[in-house]
Structure 1
Amino acid sequence: MSNFTLSKTWQILGPFPIGTREQDFGADPLECYGGFSKLRYSAGAKYPSELVDGGFVGWSMLSSINHTVGPIDFRNARWKDNGVPFGWSIEQYQAWARGILVVHQPTKVFMQISGVSEYYINGEKRYHGDCYNYNTTTHIVHFEKGKYVIDVRMVHDIRIFGGGTTPPQCQFQVLIEPTKKEDLMVYPEDCAVITPSQTKKDADPMCEILMPDYLKDIGFAGSFGSVSIQNIGDDSIVVKSITLCVVDSRSLEGNKKGLFVEYKTDLLVKNISIIPGQIRPIGFQFQKEWGSLPAVEILKYWVRISLVVDDRDEMTEQNEFVIRASCSKITHVDWIKSVFKFTFLDYDNTVQYAMAKRPDILTSNPKKPIIIALHGAGVEADSSFWTKSIPTQPSSWILFPTGRTPWGYDWHGPSTRNVFKSLEGLKAIQDLLPPHFECIDSAGEDWVNVSAPDETSKTLKARDDKEWVIGNMDRLILMGHSNGGQGVWHLAVHFPDKIIAVVPAAGYLKIQDYVSFANWVGNSFSDPSLRAVLESAITEYNNDLHLSNMIDIAVLPRVGTEDDNVPPLHTRKYVRILNGLMKNSTAIKTSEAIGQGHWWDSVFTDKIVQDFLIKQHEKPSPREFCITSTNPAGIGSVNGIHLEQITVPYRLAKIKGVESNENILSIKTTNVSSFRLTRHFKGYQKLVIDGDRFSHLEKIHTEKGNVVFSMDKKSKRWKLEQVKSTERNAANYGPIHRMYESKSALTIVIPEKGDHYQHVALQIAHDWYLYGRGDSRIVYDGDIAAYDKCSSGGYRVYLGLPSENKLIDQIISDKPCGIEFEKSALTGIKVGDKLYNDPGTGILFMQPCNQHGEMAIIISGVDLIGFDSAWRLLPKRTGMMVPEWIVTSSEMKSIGLGGVLGAGYFDNEWKPFGFI
């Protein structure tokens, strides 16, 4: 008999309105009546909702099938009629579901709910779900004997479930599985498990391991691997070592006689600590064996992991244990004919992968472009559907990055950084791949393809250049579809100096235009000035606002005329704006596939696209340009100029340039405080900045130097000077979502005592791993290493009230930023001159925390209710409108934005401004 039983009948209450990405602001109308957890099923109870006939909704009952609830048909909802004035964004609704879990004896389980972002156990503890159905994370939950209420908050997210389908297809799936040793190969008993992977139904669901492909006759395509480990015990564990093994799968599991090859590995981070319930991806580097594995399917990966249990008082050594990998069969790939997977170190020192497709012929031409292909939402980069959609090119490599996960971050932030690091990773494995030769077989009749190292014989005919190169990393061609099409536009307007041409297919303008934010519940309760401050947190991702940056890039935009997912209007609007900026009404034309929908098989293969790719060689230098930005932290070099500081952060900044016949560049600036020249800057003899003249520019071209052109605050004249370490610049601008671009594991610091904060830390770590395959380190505030021994460029999140987390006051005292905690009968939060001290007030803000360049994200409040209102706003997905500081109240639960008391940014001297 099972230790628990989950009810098949669920109580449903809804639908109620909610806007795109509004859920984390609360905005639940039922909170006005005590909240769903306090409400009990009643056939006669009614609650107001404008989405249905009569304006009131009641309870209903729904039976689950194999623990799947939905799709739910709210029969009295006026989806079609509501869509007339509001479009499909009105289908973005929320509803609640309640089920009962009966536990027959104390037990510990893996638990997750897919298709939703949050659920509650007994109306108290909130867990974050798996809204994209990645099936890569679970929570460890301890249940005593008894009955438990499971409340699930559903949101019909148009981007996930689709729009325009009646009824909307919202549903969720409940996973509850025991943590039994015999089922999951847990060693030592109740200590740790390599995380179950359910993404591949036909694979052994034992663990998630990331390894590069094995290239036929060559070796592994990279020397980095990663395995994800979840701690299911009651004490922290420390990973001491990982041994990578290749075994004969016909032998008994763990039998040394089956060992074929054992690889020496080094952990990328030493002594990795994992607290109870946490999942961490453990990266390692192994010494490759060249051409040593036979191409047979009986060989599989194994990993042997050495652990110790950390009770914080003493370390107890545990036995080694072996667990089979889920992607167990070693895939041998003929890289000459097939796309292959390689691994690399990403910007945060985690191991990620990308796919690569070699060209027909490898050449030594250093100017040839590299093609980067950005996949759509929900598409795995290694999907054969995706990698086959772009044909092999005559001489250009094709790179298929992941963006970290199938949905990633809309190719923003972490996903953007992943693109460029995967490009470096491709460059790094060039020495691994020998030239391709053709030789005569023993009969002397036919030609056969082989890979050969350096030597050749009289019978070899070189097809590829012996000293070939991958290509030019500053001459990129971007291609992408749907979300990837939007990603192409995003990278083109933010990093144009690296890009010569783009083929965006079915790309949308920006998230707010794809599924409108107009129907937010909180809009009816909030000050328009506040909404403007919040929206500015994602303005840097408004592609249309930044189109002036890419006027010298060749563009072939593509759409299917019958696209009902991303309407062609988006692409046509791009074209209208670009042609207007170029002052040429037909400079760019939309390539429209008549009668085709969102995807069609020849979207990247037809003659139109292939002819366009072949023609891309040189990019013209415009004699006039306009650089547009709202955030120097998220933009690269444009026309050889890199913004470092803007006068009023997160307001629109522009640099307009005109080249004269005398090789002089004259520029006029708006809202710009400093900038530097990069190696892409054209060799002008003189530079005139708002009337101030500079010469000998060849001496100040620098990509990473500290010399900038800066406007003097008093004289309002431009001068050359060193970057001021006391002021803000591109390296430390926010908003808060920049925390996911940390150069090392995200460190979460919690008070020594308080299970609640540990639970919150686990949810934050869960979200970073789920949505970005990122790594987090959870430590106690008493751990000196959490404050003093930091790696440069990292972010740390501090949780707790000032009286509980000992480091919060210390950080604020060491690096004052205009935000402080008042100690009185009732603790208050002071932002500038404004004091917030009502019960239930919380705050979330960022600031520098030490001399190493580390940044702190502080989440606190005047009480625990205020803390809880603030921490739910920590961004976990793209599109979250959270600036650099925000003050919250308990009213957010019901009225969303209307419960935000203040929000804003810090100026260049770290003084707060905004809606105060």
Structure 2
Amino acid sequence: MQLFNTFAAYISGMQTYMSIFPPDHGARPLSFSQEWRVLGPFQIGTRGMTWDVCLEYDPNTTYRSSLAPNATVRWTTVQADSAVSNANSARTSLSVSFREVDFEFLQQVYGWAALQYQAWARGYLYVKGSSPQSITLSIDHVLEFYVDDELYFGGDYYSYRRAPLVLYLQPGSHKLDVRLIRDVRVMGGVGAPSIDTTLRAETHSQSLQLSSGEPIIPDLINGHLPGRVGSITVRNHALTDVEVLAVFADLDTVSMSLHSAASLTLKPGQTRPLTLNIGCVGLCATEFSIHIHYRTYGSDDASVLSLPYSFERRAIHDPHKITFLHPSGIASYAILRAPSVRAQCSHETGDFPVLLQFHGAGLEADDPMVAHALDPLPDLCSWVLFPTGVTPWSGDDWHAWGFTDVEAAIQAIPRWIVENSWQGPGVDVDRWLVSGHSNGGQGTWYALTHRPDKVIAAAPVSGYSSIQSPYYVALQRPPGLTHFPDYVPYTLWRPMQSTVRSVLDGAISSYQHEILLENSRGIPIFQQHGGSDDNVPAYHSRLLSQLLHEFEADSTYVELPGAGHWFDGVMTTDHLQAFYQQAFEQSTSLRDTPGNFSLVVANPADTGSKHGFQVLHLRRPGQLGKVQVSFLQSDTQCHIRTTNVLSMKLPANFLKNLEVDLDGQLLEDLLVPSRDAITISRGANGEWKLTEHTGHMQRSGRQLGAMEAILRTHGVFQIVYHNPDAQNTALQISRNLCQYFAADTQLSSNDSTSLSGEGNILRLLVGSDMALGLHADFPIHVQPHGMISVRDDTGHWLQYNSEEFEGLGAVFLRPLEEERLELILWGAELEGLKMAARLVPMLTGVGQPDFVVTRKDMMWKGADGVLAMGFFDHAWNVSAGSFFT
């Protein structure tokens, strides 16, 4: 008996199970089966679902499960809660629970982690008619599923419904195998821990279709636009490429065009956002239609897809939608409130700071509960900005993708000032008061610990402490517990070696705010939390309050007795109002009188400076680096001590009048008086010296960090598939990037297009060898005959071949010029490529390091089934601490 394996190996005898209960199609083109087969529950750790997969089907087999009584489960039958079909669509809902499992007891032992589990469901989609149909299939809260034994990974975990799967199905019954995962963050922790999902299928006859969701278009301010870009998302339902030729508005007073200089191509089944230039000739009309001109491959005739639209009209001092370009080339938006003419700000003699307000998970920035959260405080001495982080779940929890959006939104304010001929106070884009609720509170901790030179004050409200303890839950305290447990801890992953676990932890250490709190010293912090919060327990704020006190940080904690997670006015309590006012009155630069301080860095790519000190490279990636600065002898001596720091930037002008001791070395000869800042590196002998550019290939800037560095693209993602059978996997990656990040991707089998572009590249190969790329001495070589070699930190080459390791694959970063990256996805065979593709960054907290060599064992062993994983250092060599079998 095999427990974990692939659905592709399902026994075909089950194919006819649902056929013995044929549905009454009538005139409906689509319908779902009423009865479903379900198997579970099985344990699954927080964010662990990417690393392991599924099992072999056998209706007569008893399966082992650590969650079930007697450690065994079998397939059972459940009825769909509802099934609705109409002229061109069908929908059904499933609610799956396992009442025989004592989840209450498990929760008392393991906390919220015990309410997470996985299960499997099998049903059918019926297609009526005499010819194939173009169908979109979306399944809420599901990461992966199979249609007729074909795997589709990525799904729609957060129910965005932005990029559903496009299928071309023959008439008849089509088997659906759905991997159900109960995620406490998404589904909560109150009541019976059931899994609820909705399946939707819809037929389409037009080649190009609009995706669900509203276009991104700026609001209209006194007849003028506060942004010049917008976006509409479209999807190709044709069997051939579709070329979008142009976009027009139907009124002369509204101008609209594609932002790209050339037309855009969508592969069959691909969803892409169209980035638009938008303008007005004179005063904009309120209502108009958007016309998208396109043609299918091989056709000379253009077709038109139209969308009526009405501008939202706002007053200039009201919260309103502005648009701007995300560095990836897509259009994004934020909600901006300009300073009031009644703001009394005698302490502000120049430009006003920015009050950043981060929203919680599942919310859009233009949601009234977000955009109007600060309405009771209309006269703040600041620009108020509600960033969106690109998506309702803020891209990736306000981190690599989402925080890039935040900084782009801030930089859009000076352009807004020019575009609107603003005569009020200017903006200081380098002074931020950061605040946020719930997931926005976690985003506040991220900004505070990663941009300490820009944050003048911070107010995290009802926020969780770090990504390692995901938050979106609702908990009733189990009987017998005297305290709240930690948030969905990473305790129920499949067993793994400590070296593997350390690599995974190192990949997400930049988001563990508890270990980075020293960076907040000297910055005023106000924490507020409801004492009866059953969503994010007050334990999180209490813990961080304790740690801040231990670091001698400037922190105040207020707990509101009897208050829950959210209530009207949660962001404008009397305590918060007083803190905002005081923060703006005292928002002078902290760099003038820093005192003793530390800078702790997990990833130099996402961590800015502290009083002008900035870490540029770590000696051992995956481990923390630290700079400790102290002043002695009446502030005439400066002692700097570093840990795991290879290179850093120092504020030369600040240090030039001091006697500087750096790790026991006096820096008199290195402090160049004519420079504001100097960059120094540590040599092999431990001595610090001015950094010299030797021309050697060095990893720097946006290239640093774990595999998520690929998300720091400046330009549209380029996905290149070198083998025809890799095209479907490339399409899935494109769909996932669009689904979870609203990102744009260009799919191609032509390498010349990708190399000439600006964005990062994802390169897919099956079986063949691969050119060395920009770095001639790169430590990973893909070789002919299904072999891959990796050079470890001692210089020893380890070889893995497909004859010995079934399902061999690999995923790893490689450098390109100008801080660009390419992510290589390789499989000795297609199965290995699909396994590697699972690790393309998509969900937060998974922990993908710089490189992973995979095999089929990962399907049931999880991360412990990999052959190798680890990090690259500053010179693109494999670093110490990486894992090899």
TM-score (norm 1): 0.84
TM-aligned CA deviation for residue 77 of structure 1: 1.2
Q: 1:797 aligns with which of 757, 762, 782?
A: 762
TM-aligned CA deviation for residue 659 of structure 1: 2.6
TM-aligned CA deviation for residue 55 of structure 1: 2.5
Cα distance change of structure 1 residues 69 and 469 upon mapping to structure 2, 3 Å threshold: same
The range that moved more, 871-880 or 119-128, is 119-128
Could you tell me whether the CA contact under 8 Å between 1:641 and 1:681 is conserved in 2?
no
Cα distance change of structure 1 residues 845 and 893 upon mapping to structure 2, 3 Å threshold: closer
- Residue in structure 2 matched with residue 39 of structure 1 by the alignment: 58
Cα distance in 2 for partners of 1:830, 1:356 equals 50
Cα distance in 2 for partners of 1:612, 1:724 equals 50
SS at match of 1:810: coil
Cα distance in 1 for partners of 2:185, 2:694 equals 42
Cα distance change of structure 1 residues 70 and 681 upon mapping to structure 2, 3 Å threshold: farther
Cα distance in 2 for partners of 1:903, 1:303 equals 48
Per-residue CA deviation, residues 449-489 of structure 1 (Å, 9 max, x unaligned), is xxxxxxxxxxxxxxxxx4x2342112110110111001100
Does 1:485 pair with 2:441? yes
TM-aligned CA deviation for residue 292 of structure 1: 4.1
Per-residue CA deviation, residues 312-354 of structure 1 (Å, 9 max, x unaligned), is xxxx4332414114xx222111223x21001001111211000
Cα distance in 2 for partners of 1:619, 1:662 equals 19
TM-aligned CA deviation for residue 684 of structure 1: 5.2
Cα distance change of structure 1 residues 723 and 611 upon mapping to structure 2, 3 Å threshold: farther
TM-aligned CA deviation for residue 853 of structure 1: 3.8
Does 1:873 pair with 2:848? no
Cα RMSD (Å)? 2.3
Q: 1:147 aligns with which of 165, 173, 176?
A: 173
Could you tell me whether the CA contact under 8 Å between 2:713 and 2:820 is conserved in 1?
no
* Letter in structure 1 aligned against 2:676: H
TM-aligned CA deviation for residue 266 of structure 1: 4.6
Could you tell me whether the CA contact under 8 Å between 2:707 and 2:813 is conserved in 1?
no
- Structure 2: state its 5+ residue gaps: 1-26, 84-90, 471-486
Could you tell me whether the CA contact under 8 Å between 2:287 and 2:311 is conserved in 1?
yes
Cα distance in 1 for partners of 2:35, 2:837 equals 33
Does 1:730 pair with 2:704? no
Could you tell me whether the CA contact under 8 Å between 1:839 and 1:862 is conserved in 2?
no
Cα distance change of structure 1 residues 571 and 413 upon mapping to structure 2, 3 Å threshold: same
How many residues align? The count is: 809
Cα distance in 1 for partners of 2:237, 2:657 equals 62
Cα distance in 2 for partners of 1:569, 1:876 equals 29
Per-residue CA deviation, residues 414-434 of structure 1 (Å, 9 max, x unaligned), is 111111100111221112335
Cα distance in 1 for partners of 2:823, 2:876 equals 14
* Letter in structure 2 aligned against 1:396: S
Cα distance change of structure 1 residues 713 and 679 upon mapping to structure 2, 3 Å threshold: closer
Cα distance in 2 for partners of 1:359, 1:679 equals 36
- Residue in structure 1 matched with residue 312 of structure 2 by the alignment: 331
TM-score (norm 2): 0.87
TM-aligned CA deviation for residue 310 of structure 1: 3.9
Cα distance in 1 for partners of 2:312, 2:851 equals 48
- Residue in structure 2 matched with residue 818 of structure 1 by the alignment: 779
Q: 2:96 aligns with which of 72, 75, 80?
A: 72
TM-aligned CA deviation for residue 555 of structure 1: 0.4
Q: 1:223 aligns with which of 195, 220, 228?
A: 228
Cα distance change of structure 1 residues 423 and 273 upon mapping to structure 2, 3 Å threshold: same
SS at match of 1:511: coil
TM-aligned CA deviation for residue 125 of structure 1: 2.9
Cα distance change of structure 1 residues 795 and 776 upon mapping to structure 2, 3 Å threshold: same
Does 1:89 pair with 2:113? yes
- Residue in structure 2 matched with residue 274 of structure 1 by the alignment: 266
- Residue in structure 1 matched with residue 294 of structure 2 by the alignment: 307
Q: 1:99 aligns with which of 123, 129, 140?
A: 123
Could you tell me whether the CA contact under 8 Å between 2:319 and 2:371 is conserved in 1?
yes
Does 1:699 pair with 2:670? no
The range that moved more, 94-103 or 483-492, is 94-103
Could you tell me whether the CA contact under 8 Å between 2:812 and 2:852 is conserved in 1?
no
- Residue in structure 1 matched with residue 497 of structure 2 by the alignment: 527
SS at match of 1:737: helix
- Residue in structure 1 matched with residue 748 of structure 2 by the alignment: 779
TM-aligned CA deviation for residue 717 of structure 1: 3.4
* Letter in structure 1 aligned against 2:361: A
Q: 1:212 aligns with which of 191, 214, 218?
A: 218
The range that moved more, 837-846 or 878-887, is 837-846
Q: 1:114 aligns with which of 134, 140, 163?
A: 140
- Residue in structure 1 matched with residue 187 of structure 2 by the alignment: 161
Instruction: List structure 1 segments (4+ residues) > 6 angstroms apart after TM superposition.
Output: none
* Letter in structure 1 aligned against 2:469: D
Could you tell me whether the CA contact under 8 Å between 2:30 and 2:202 is conserved in 1?
no
SS at match of 1:50: coil
- Residue in structure 2 matched with residue 321 of structure 1 by the alignment: 304
Cα distance in 1 for partners of 2:338, 2:817 equals 45
Q: 1:560 aligns with which of 521, 526, 530?
A: 530
Cα distance in 2 for partners of 1:509, 1:146 equals 50
Per-residue CA deviation, residues 142-189 of structure 1 (Å, 9 max, x unaligned), is 1112321101111000100011x2311421111111103xxxxx3xxx
Cα distance change of structure 1 residues 906 and 814 upon mapping to structure 2, 3 Å threshold: closer
Cα distance change of structure 1 residues 592 and 143 upon mapping to structure 2, 3 Å threshold: same
SS at match of 1:522: coil
Does 1:507 pair with 2:463? yes
Could you tell me whether the CA contact under 8 Å between 2:320 and 2:335 is conserved in 1?
yes
SS at match of 2:414: helix
Cα distance change of structure 1 residues 850 and 594 upon mapping to structure 2, 3 Å threshold: closer
Q: 2:608 aligns with which of 636, 645, 663?
A: 636
* Letter in structure 2 aligned against 1:171: D
Cα distance in 1 for partners of 2:653, 2:679 equals 15
Per-residue CA deviation, residues 515-557 of structure 1 (Å, 9 max, x unaligned), is 434333422xx21111101210000111011111110110000
Cα distance change of structure 1 residues 101 and 70 upon mapping to structure 2, 3 Å threshold: closer
Does 1:762 pair with 2:731? yes
Q: 1:394 aligns with which of 374, 380, 402?
A: 380
SS at match of 1:846: strand
Cα distance change of structure 1 residues 715 and 137 upon mapping to structure 2, 3 Å threshold: closer
Cα distance change of structure 1 residues 290 and 629 upon mapping to structure 2, 3 Å threshold: same
Q: 1:4 aligns with which of 30, 33, 42?
A: 30
Cα distance in 1 for partners of 2:419, 2:715 equals 27
Could you tell me whether the CA contact under 8 Å between 1:6 and 1:99 is conserved in 2?
yes
Does 1:369 pair with 2:349? no
Cα distance change of structure 1 residues 655 and 220 upon mapping to structure 2, 3 Å threshold: same
Cα distance change of structure 1 residues 229 and 562 upon mapping to structure 2, 3 Å threshold: same
* Letter in structure 2 aligned against 1:195: S
Q: 1:548 aligns with which of 502, 509, 518?
A: 518
Does 1:421 pair with 2:408? yes
Cα distance in 2 for partners of 1:237, 1:359 equals 46
Q: 1:469 aligns with which of 425, 450, 455?
A: 425
The range that moved more, 513-522 or 603-612, is 513-522
Cα distance in 2 for partners of 1:678, 1:763 equals 46
SS at match of 1:171: strand
Per-residue CA deviation, residues 823-854 of structure 1 (Å, 9 max, x unaligned), is 35x53444441111223243434343544443
Q: 2:75 aligns with which of 47, 56, 59?
A: 59
Does 1:131 pair with 2:157? yes
- Structure 1: state its 5+ residue gaps: 181-185, 198-207, 246-258, 294-298, 436-465
Cα distance in 2 for partners of 1:79, 1:696 equals 62
Per-residue CA deviation, residues 373-401 of structure 1 (Å, 9 max, x unaligned), is 00000011101111222232332121000
- Residue in structure 1 matched with residue 711 of structure 2 by the alignment: 740
Cα distance change of structure 1 residues 684 and 869 upon mapping to structure 2, 3 Å threshold: farther
Cα distance change of structure 1 residues 599 and 137 upon mapping to structure 2, 3 Å threshold: same
Cα distance in 2 for partners of 1:677, 1:725 equals 23
Could you tell me whether the CA contact under 8 Å between 1:302 and 1:322 is conserved in 2?
no
- Residue in structure 2 matched with residue 577 of structure 1 by the alignment: 547
Q: 1:836 aligns with which of 800, 809, 812?
A: 800
Cα distance change of structure 1 residues 323 and 475 upon mapping to structure 2, 3 Å threshold: same
Cα distance in 1 for partners of 2:426, 2:58 equals 62
Cα distance change of structure 1 residues 566 and 668 upon mapping to structure 2, 3 Å threshold: same
SS at match of 2:848: coil
Q: 2:365 aligns with which of 371, 381, 398?
A: 381
